[in-house]
Amino acid sequence: MWLFRLSQTKMRLRLEALRELYKRYFGENTAEARGLRLLREWLSPLQREQFDVKGNFEVFGSDTGRRYRVHYGTEMNVHELDESGRVRMGWCFVPQGRLVAGDVMLAQKIALETFECGALSVARRFEPYSRCPSGVISYLPSRRISHPNRTNCFAACEPQSGWLPPGQ
Amino acid sequence: MPVQIVMDYKGDTRHHFDANDAAELAKAEARFKELTGKGFTAAVRIASGEVSKLNSFNPAAEETVFFPRLVGG
């Protein structure tokens, strides 16, 4: 029980820190601030509310209708959810170049909502390793799933889409 | 005034253009072709929070965002 309370406290502190960071960013003209402002402008009202409250937002894949949660960050921040909202799989795909978090998250939203299979075809899967009582997910990077195994997870996408990455 | 927003390490670079000016329109179209030719994805907002991928230049688009080619992390 005390472990659960500790996790709740940690989660609350983390959210408070995120909100503080968020407020500070909006008053600035840094690359990070501009990225977050652009992201917020492009989110749907529901996604914006989710992002303001929880620091993440959910999108539905354009090809499969699957639900994904996009967390604040620039890598390993996209999680596929199952029907009950539990994390099923992690997907790592980012735009080339060193973009700020807001831009990366917006690119991920657009990609999943407009060419889901194309985005996943270049993504690296990773396995979320555990879920704490607080809902915070931890990872075990050494258990990342290697590319050769990736083929199976595209079974749902490939027949529906002739998408190829640009330039191929 | 329509704007093309190109994501980069600075956050983004914004290119405004006058859709009624043929020269500016041509420049905007050339920028669109150059970026998408390099693998950038172009997208517009079609409703509040809904997005659509652009495959060709749309002079009527008020705000077009471009992001670089996606790669596995």
H helix and E strand count, chain A: 5, 7
Residue A157 pLDDT class (50, 70, 90 cuts) = very low
Measured between CA atoms, the residue of chain B closest to residue A39 is B49
How far apart are the CA of B32 and the nearest CA of chain A, in angstroms?
15
**Mean pLDDT in residue range A141-151:** 38
Structural domain boundaries, residue A79: 8-141
Task: Identify the DSSP state of A160.
Answer: G
CB contact under 8 A, A35 and B50: no
Question: Looking at the whole model, is its pTM more than 0.80?
Answer: no
Task: Identify the DSSP state of A72.
Answer: S
Q: Which residue has the tokens 């790669």?
A: B71
How many other C-beta atoms lie within 10 A of the C-beta of residue A116?
A: 24
Q: Is residue A67 part of a domain?
A: yes
How far apart are the CA of B48 and the nearest CA of chain A, in angstroms?
6
ipTM of this model?
0.96
Q: Is residue A26 part of a domain?
A: yes
The DSSP bridge pattern shows strands B41-47 and B63-67 to be antiparallel
Number of domains in chain A: 1
Give phi and psi for A129, each to the nearest 5: -90, -35
Give phi and psi for B6, each to the nearest 5: -105, 115
Q: Is residue A148 part of a domain?
A: no
Q: Is residue A152 part of a domain?
A: no
**What are the residue boundaries of the structural domains of chain B, listed by start?**
3-67
- Residue A160 sits at the chain B interface (C-beta within 8 Å): no
Res A8: pLDDT: 76
